Every structure is written in C-alpha cells, then in structure tokens.
Structure 1
Amino acid sequence: MPDSSIAPISQSVPEPSRRFCVAPMMDWTTPHFRYLARLLSRRTLLYTEMVTTGALIHGDTERFLRHDPLEYPLALQLGGSDAGELAHCARLAQQYGFDEVNLNVGCPSDRVQNNMIGACLMGHPAKVAEGVSAMIEATELPVTVKHRIGINGRESWDELCEFVETVAAAGCKTFIVHARIAILEGLSPKENRDIPPLKYDWVYRLKQQYPKLEIIINGGIKTFDECHDHLAHTDGVMLGREAYHNPWMLAGVDPAFFGEAAPVASRQEALRAMFPFIQQELDRGVYLTHITRHIMGLFLGMPGGRQFRRHLSENANKPGSGLEVIEQALAKIRQPAPDTAPA
C-alpha cells in the first residue's frame, strides 16, 4: 500500500507577481490542478476557473471558493456585469483569502454572452468601468481585468484604447490582454482561441502608450524563449493550455523568471508530495478520476509516459480506486537520466 503519510512540501508564500501566470481555464484550473502546479512552482500566479457572480451569490459559495492554502498566491476570476453583484463577490474573494480578484472580459461563449458576461462586455466599456469601480470600493485586493484586443464590430486600435482608458479611469491598474479579437457569432470558444490572428504588437503598443499600467500578455504562448521575448515589451506573461498539458514546464519557472531554485527535483517527487492531498480528497468522497485527469500530462515526453496515462485512464474510474492506482502508474515510468527542470 502506498505511503500516504508523505508530508507536503513546506513553503512560505511569496508576494504575488504577475511576471508569470497560468490562465483561468474552465474545467481545467480546478483545485486539483492548482495544487500540482504549486508544487512545481512557488512563484507562478495561479487563477481559478471563471466563477459567475450568480453562482457565488445563489449557489454553493463554499464549493466554488474552496481551495487549499498551499495554492497561494491565487487569484479568483469572476464572470459578471452587475456592479452590486461584482462588489459582493469581491468582498467574498477577500473573505476567502484570495490575493487578487479578476474580471473576465474575454470569454466568447454564447452561454455567458446571454448573461452579459465575458468578451461581449468589450462593447460596453462604461459598464465594465462601473463594475470595476464597485469592486475596488468593496475590497482591498487588487482588481484586474482580463480581456481581448477587441470583438467583431469593435476591433480597431482606437476602440481598444477607449476600453483600456475607460476602465483605467475607474481605478484598474492591471490589464491581462489576450492578443486576439473574439468573434461573438459563428465560432466556438475553442475556435476563438485559434482562428482570430494573434496581434502581439498591439499588446506591446498598449504598454508603450500607457506605461503606468501593468500589461500582461496572453494567447498562444508555448515556450520560455517566447516568454522572454514578450517580457522585453510587457510586464508579465500568462500561459494557458501549454502549462496544463505539459505541467512539468512549471518546474522551470522559478529559476528562469525569478532566479530561485525549483521547489522539486523530479516529477515523481512532485506527484508523491501530492499524495496526502489526494488522500484527503478521496476521504471527502471525490472520485480518483476527477483528480488524476489533471496529472495526465506530468510525464509528457518521458519514457513510459504513455503507459502512465493509459493506466490512469483505465483504472482511476473504477470503484474504490485509491493511491495504489497512481503507484502502479508510476511504476510504468522509465527514467534513464536525471529529470531536470525545463530551462
């Protein structure tokens, strides 16, 4: 039987920095993924999935805001447009210990558009400013906005500047910019992450035009070399799918961007450090498969990595599955050389 008494890696919580962030991603940046990500990097700023104000106010608030203290520094992303509701949820963010509260002005899905949430709000800068102002008034936390460079019908440089200036005048100092427009009709959210062309130069121009604002760049970034190129023009980078599908890259963040040692020496060490948390979740009634789906990419590219993923896929969903399934999957990994953190 695996040893579930392994103590988690102890760490003091560093001051939040947006130099390197992992994007909020629905169904992906859950507490289970975030726990693994934090074991791999102490400095990466993590974001929750988007949570709507309606879900927090009228739903299971505790479930939506639950997180482990090990996840800090951690930002809560909200979806909403009603200033009063946003203010209420900003207060909840502070009450539950988050380090930042972020407003989603980038999600293009039809479902959120119908509720005046996400990218459609780029067509209503004054409404975003009203919400941001109410949030700032309600909390001591930093209030930030994540948005696109435009939406179809409002995709000019002048309209982007109007949006940023209007929201900045309400007190927002940090803008996380996905360097694509969002097309609100005819494309799925997935297509909206790939089809509209990336315009990184527009994000660079925002920083040039508004040097006192903190500008974080997002969209299509995959490598540390690309990150360093962007950091020559912006204040921070935000990665999404690449960090999720290949989480071991996060073990290189602290050395590459903060000049600090990586908190773990190997993928195995990181996963075993997660065992007490996994057991705690199992004891709460969480199915193992709901946890292991977030660790599938940990051994990406390693000998035995495919067998590791297959074993979890075929066995983690069986009734009563526990840590022994992960131990069996780990036994599939063949490691011919030291497992150094990515550079």
Structure 2
Amino acid sequence: MENAVKSQIDISSRLSVAPMMDWTDRHCRYLHRLMSQDVLLYTEMVTAPAILHGDRDRLLGFDAAEQPVALQLGGSDPAELAQAARIAAAYGYREINLNCGCPSDRVQSGRFGAVLMEDPALVAACCAAMIDAVDIPVTVKCRIGVDDQAPDVILPTFLDAVSAAGVDRFAIHARKAWLQGLSPKENRDIPPLDYDLVFAMKAAFPHLHLSVNGGIGSLDEAEAFRDRGMDGVMIGRAAYHTPADILLDADRRIFGKSQGRTVEEVVALMLPYINAHLNAGGRLHQITRHMLGLFQGRPGARAWRRHLSTHAHRDGAGTEVVETALLQVTSLAA
C-alpha cells in the first residue's frame, strides 16, 4: 500500500458516513459528495458470495465523483473475502471494510456481521487474507460486544487480535448488539451507548486509528469527540435524514477547508446526474428518496418533501419535479 493513499484515507476518516443498508447506495453517495468533498463515504454492505456469483457491475459500480469511497464487505470465509476484496479493489475503492456489527437474522445465519464479535481469531484470519490480497487499507466496523459478552473484556481482546493481523483502523459502534431478543431496528436504539469504553480503547491502543459511531447527531458532537482524542467520528442516520446539517459545513469544521456549497447549489448540481439516470432507464424516485431531508429545519421543508413524495414515483417524472419542489422552498424563504 502506498503511504500517500493510506494517509489520505486516514484523513478522510476523521468524519465518515456510516454504511447503511438500503440507504447509502450510489445515488445517496453522489448527493453526499456534492455536499462534502472530504468526508469518507461507505457503500451499503455487500456480501462476498454476492460479489463472487452476482452482477458485479450492479453491486460494485460507482461514479468516480464519489471518491473517496469505501466498500463494506460481509462474510466470514477468508478465501471468499480475499477474492471479493481483490475484485472490489479493481473497481477503484479506496478501502475495504469488514462488517462485524450488523445484527440482522440474515447476517447471523450467514455467520457474519455482529456475530463475528464472538470469534476474534476468525476475524483476524479474514482480515489477514484480505490484506494479503489488496494494496488498499482493510478496516473493521464492530460493536462493543454481543449478547452476554462483557464489553470491557471482549472489545480489547477483539482489537488486540485483529490489529495483530494488520488492521490499524476500526470504527466502533458504541453499543452491544443483542442477537437474541432485539430486532435490527431495536439494536440501533435500545442497547445503551458506552462512549467511555471507546475512549478507554483509544487510551489502551494509541497506535490504532479509532472512530466512534452510534447516536451522534451533529457536527458539534463530532468535534467534541475529536477534541477528546478520537481519531474519527462516523455518523449514520443523522447524515442521512439531515444531510445539510452534517455535511455542508464538514469540510470547513473538520478538515480545515473553505466553506462548502449551499443546499440550493447541491440541488442544481444533482439535476444533470438525475437526467443521466433517467436517460439510462432509471426512475426519479430512486434518487429523490435520498433528497427528502435536504431542507430539514428550514422554511419550506415540508412542501419540498410532500412534492417529491407525491410526484417522483409517477411514470415519466423528470427533473421538473425537483425544480418545482425547489421553487416552493425558495418562495417561502424569500
């Protein structure tokens, strides 16, 4: 791995948008990149078997404008993951991230996701195989433990074993995952957050690049975590539902760059992208569903959401739907 590439991706991971199933697809990432040039973006989780046996261009294709973008892989077979990582690296991803945090039933039955917290040695073997296969960083996103595990015991054991395999960057969702008794949605809210444990891991493993994830809803909170010594902050639902609040000022506040675009400028820049998608046979709502929260908290936000929700699904819907929705916002703001 070239040091310059690794250094740049480590910088980008000061603030990242979490991988989120059904949300962080290529259209969402294109939108987010228009709002921040520096934030690290992640794909939805893609399983290694899907890459090996499925439509690779559909699963792995992305617009070069999304960079820096990382692929999150799901799996637990070192050989499969190594092969999938090699294929993905050829598409130009800047990082491969192994999912050790997703608590869904499908993930458990496939022996990957959060259940891997129970087997640090297997995670280490998986990561070692991927590191041998690619020249880009291999990272891990994990929980602080699962079910009846003691987080203050398993998390340092996990970090020690996996870092020994060559992983030096982790994103830690500061909640347990309860694989029995809670739904995936409940696992995002009900288990209590333990930020203090994540801070303790940073103190215990100062050589590792650690990002904190879970329940973080603003740039103010992100800056507070970095002020307390965390290398990075990963934001999930807030970055999706209120992207302007998180992303438009991120380059200035987190990366020391100049002020970014306005929301109106972002919408205008989305129009050519939307047209290209429609000309390729796509439908408007596949993109606009990610744009509903753009004006959250501003006058006209409800009119924006209502117009897009009502009209974007209709046959033949085009960019005029977005332009009309924007006019409703700007007229109220005038």
Scaled to the shorter chain, the TM-score interval is over 0.9
Q: 1:325 aligns with which of 302, 321, 324?
A: 321
Counting only pairs closer than 5 Å after superposition, residues 264-343 of structure 1 correspond to structure 2 as 264=261, 266-334=262-330
Preserved contact between residue 299 and residue 333 of structure 2 (Cα < 8 Å)? no
Preserved contact between residue 15 and residue 73 of structure 1 (Cα < 8 Å)? no
Residue 15 of structure 1 pairs with residue 8 of structure 2: yes
Preserved contact between residue 108 and residue 120 of structure 1 (Cα < 8 Å)? yes
Runs of 4+ in 1 over 4 A off after TM superposition: 335-338
Preserved contact between residue 40 and residue 248 of structure 1 (Cα < 8 Å)? yes
Deviations 1:263-282 (A, max 9, x none): 31x21111111111111111
Q: 1:235 — aligned with what?
A: 231
Matched to 1:57, the amino acid is L
After TM superposition, give the deviation of residue 262 of structure 1 in Å. Answer: 2.9
Q: 1:125 — aligned with what?
A: 120
- 1:86, 1:141 → 2: CA distance? 14
- 2:243, 2:259 → 1: CA distance? 13
For structure 1, list consecutive stretches of 5 or more residues without a partner in the other structure.
1-13, 339-343
Q: 1:251 — aligned with what?
A: 248
- 1:61, 1:155 → 2: CA distance? 39
After TM superposition, give the deviation of residue 159 of structure 1 in Å. Answer: 1.6
Matched to 1:94, the amino acid is A
After TM superposition, give the deviation of residue 336 of structure 1 in Å. Answer: 6.8
Q: 2:93 aligns with which of 69, 91, 98?
A: 98
- Corresponding residue pairs, total: 324
- 2:134, 2:244 → 1: CA distance? 35
Deviations 1:214-247 (A, max 9, x none): 1110000012221122112210000000000011
Preserved contact between residue 32 and residue 294 of structure 1 (Cα < 8 Å)? yes
Q: How big is the alpha-carbon RMSD for the aligned residues of Structure 1 and Structure 2?
A: 1.3
Residue 172 of structure 1 pairs with residue 189 of structure 2: no
Distance 1:156 1:246, change over 3 A: closer
Preserved contact between residue 302 and residue 335 of structure 1 (Cα < 8 Å)? no
For structure 2, list consecutive stretches of 5 or more residues without a partner in the other structure.
1-6
Q: 1:143 aligns with which of 138, 147, 151?
A: 138
- 2:114, 2:176 → 1: CA distance? 9
1:332 aligned counterpart, secondary structure:
helix
Matched to 1:238, the amino acid is M
- 2:182, 2:31 → 1: CA distance? 32
Q: 1:225 — aligned with what?
A: 220
Q: 1:59 aligns with which of 51, 54, 62?
A: 54
TM-score for both structures, normalised by structure 2: 0.95
Percent of aligned pairs with the same amino acid: 51
Which structure would you say has the larger RCO, counting Cα contacts within 8 Å and 6 or more residues apart?
Answer: 1
